[in-house]
Structure formats: C-alpha cells, structure tokens
Amino acid sequence: MHYALVSDLLSKEAFDEWVEQKSASLGGLVDEVTAAMMVVDELGRRHIKIGDIPSARTSIVSFFGKILEIKPPREFIREGEPPGLVASIILGDPTGTVTLSLWDERAEVAAELEVGSVIEVIAKPRPGKKEANCLALRENQVTIVETKKPPKSETMSAPLTVKILAAFEMKEIVRRDGTSSFLQEFIIGDASGTARLVSWSPELFADVDAGSCVSISGVQRKEDEGIIEYVVSDSAEIRIVPDEITVLSIDASEVSEGSNPIVTGVVTSVSEIRSFTTRRGTESRVRNVAIRGSAASRSVNVAVWGDAADTLFLPGDSVQVINAAAKLNRYGELELSVGRGSVMQTVSLPGVHISVTGMVILRPEGLALDNGKEVWILITDQTPELGMTADVEGIMQNGRIKVTNIDIQTPDPAPLVSRLEPLL
C-alpha cells in the first residue's frame, strides 16, 4: 500500500529492497508496515493532517482519518463502457474533514467499513478542495478522539429571503468530457449575517442587481465547519421583494476570528501590490489595506487577493468588507482576508462638482491630473496621453474625480516658434 506514495520516485523492486534493508538495519524490531512507513518518510512523503489536504503540494497524499459518514455505492453510466460504481466516505481529524471518493472495485470496500473506525488512506487530492480520490486504504489502530464536524446539507422548505450584496462575473466551467456549464456567485445577507450563494443557472438572476432584496425558493443550504453556503437549484423561483432587508454589520474594531458579516471602516493606508507564486505554481497578487473603525484608533489589516488587489482604494475612503474571514497573521494580529466569496468595496458618498485644468500624469494608483497644487486620480474610460494639458469636469470625492467630460488642449506652437526664430 505504501508504495503508491512513492511510485513516481522509484520502482516497486527498489522500494521492497529498501524496506527489507530498513527492517534488517533495525534488527527486525519493526514489522514490514512500519519499515515501509519509515522509507516513505525518508523519501519526503509523510502523513499529513486532513486540514492540509486542500493546499497539498504533492499529487498523492497519505493521512489518517476517522470515519464520520459512509455513503453507499451507487451505479453511474459511462458512455460506451460498462456501468461504474462510486461511494464516498467523510473522514475527519482535529484539523478538518475530507470527502473521500472510492471508484469501481474500491467502492465495494465501503460496505465493509464502520462509522467511528480509523483508516489510513493514500489518495489523490483535488487542489483547493476538501475532496480526494482513494488509491488505497486500510483500517488502523491510530486513535482519533476529536474531529471537526462533518458537512451538513439540506434542502430548505421555506424560501430564502435575503439582500444581494455583491454579484460576481459569470464563469464558464469546462468538464472533463469537454462540455461546459456556467456558474455565478453572489454574496447575500440578512439580519443574521452574510453568506455565499451559488447558481448553476445564472439566467435566473438576469433581472437581479446588487442591492436587490429577493425571495428564492428551491435552495440547498450547506454548512461546513461553521461556514454556510447556499446553492440554487435549476428549478428555483426568484421574486423581488419590496421591503428593505437589514444586513448585520460591525465596526472594524469589532472584528473577531472566523467569519465576519459586513465590516465597516475608513482606509488609513494602502500598500503596493505584491506578486507571488501560489502553491499550484500560478501567479497571483495581494495588496494590504489598513482600515480603522469609528470606535478605536487601532487599524485592522485587510489582505486583498487576486484580481481584487487591483481595486483602487485611497486613504480616507469609507469601505465595507463583506463576508470575509479573519485569522491571526504571523505578527499575532487579526487580519481579514478578501478572496473567493468575499469582497471589499468603497461606500459611495456625496461628492462636489469640479472643473479644473491640469497636466495628465501617471501615479502608482493610476491616471491622474496635476494642476500644480493638487493631484486627483481620474476615474474615466478615456485614455488621454501623458503630459498633455486637459480640462476636466466631474464629481470630486476623496482624491479622485469621476470624469463626466475631458477635453485635451491643443498646444499652441506660436510662443515656441517666436522663441526659436532668433536662433534660426
């Protein structure tokens, strides 16, 4: 069984020989299984905790887990092939839970297992997910007393009445067989807090905008380690409700470890974007934004990940951090993390109309206008050339101008020509 963990590193014969040598070197004090585990460990393939599976850097992992739930085998159809079998087991340890899928002949093993027993597993993890495909397993005498609670899923009998706080762009998901479907994610909220909502039929939300209050029937509620998520069925019905829904919000000074609803505050500082390589080998970005609540002078850091790091935030902006989790960073301070299923956005405040002339320049925050006394970030779809003089009209608010009109002044060459004529 343990050879599967290192099959990409050496042959079966070489592994067996190494195991024999390891057992012999210890005077036969350990059995073959223990010797195999020691060899695997020396090759850098150690057992990991279940909580580390989503971020595992190897294509194969080994771990111990307590069986929390067994879903018996079910048959499925493969095009042009005999029917297959699949079963699943939910395993847990003190760090988390994982759904282990057993395919075909391995699925039959599920009937021989019991809830509460501990098994040793070798599996292929699904990157970023609490899921893995079983390669081998066996019962083990390791004791696991406490585990995280297994995920719960239920179809709601009553409609879900919430406010749409944010709507993300639709994504196309390509399956292994080449077919595709579309997915759209939302953040929703009510007086109890906020959550992520997923729809595989985005057309159902064609007439729903962020800020709308809706009643949705045909919703599945999922809960995993205290995190709640809703999935909308294809047959769901969505109705706009006229009444305003109040959503739970807290001040930045009240942030606590774990999930947080809407966190309000004012930006005190913004770092430059930092690029890095993820554990999957892809490039990503992160920007740190410090916000201060009204009830405290201490700032709370917000780590904004991925494409969201490109969002413009300026000191003095009033912001909302929606559905973000907080955890202790390496300095022992609470830090909000804005990534999948969360968002940070500015709160629109009244601005003043402005008409100003200046030079178009480039600042780290983006295109800007400098009139010699002040500098404003320009929010516009136009791309005036740098160094040109421009007449700008728009709404000015906290260091930015939302441009309604921009005219580039055509340089008058006459003064320059008159200065050059004596030299010609």
pLDDT tens for 310-334 read 999 999 999 999 999 999 888 888 9
Classify domain 2-139 by CATH number: 2.40.50.140
Angle at 382 between CA 345 and CA 376, to 5 degrees: 60
Rounded Cα distance between 189 and 322, Å, is 9
pLDDT-derived band at 47, boundaries 50, 70, 90 = confident
- Fold of the CATH domain 152-240: OB fold (Dihydrolipoamide Acetyltransferase, E2P) (2.40.50)
Rounded Cα distance between 64 and 45, Å, is 14
Q: Is the pLDDT of residue 41 over 60?
A: yes
Unique residue bearing structure tokens 């294809």:
234
Q: What is the largest CA-CA distance in the chain?
A: 102
Rounded Cα distance between 416 and 129, Å, is 66
Surface-to-core class of residue 65, CB atoms within 10 Å of its CB (0-12 exposed, 13-18 middle, 19+ buried): buried
pLDDT-derived band at 424, boundaries 50, 70, 90 = low
Say whether domain 249-346 belongs to CATH 3.30.300.30: no
88-144 tens-digit pLDDT: 999 999 999 999 999 998 898 888 999 999 998 988 999 888 999 998 888 888 888
236-295 tens-digit pLDDT: 999 999 999 999 999 999 999 989 999 999 999 999 999 988 766 788 999 999 999 986
pLDDT-derived band at 57, boundaries 50, 70, 90 = confident
C-beta of residue 105 within 8 angstroms of C-beta of residue 82: no
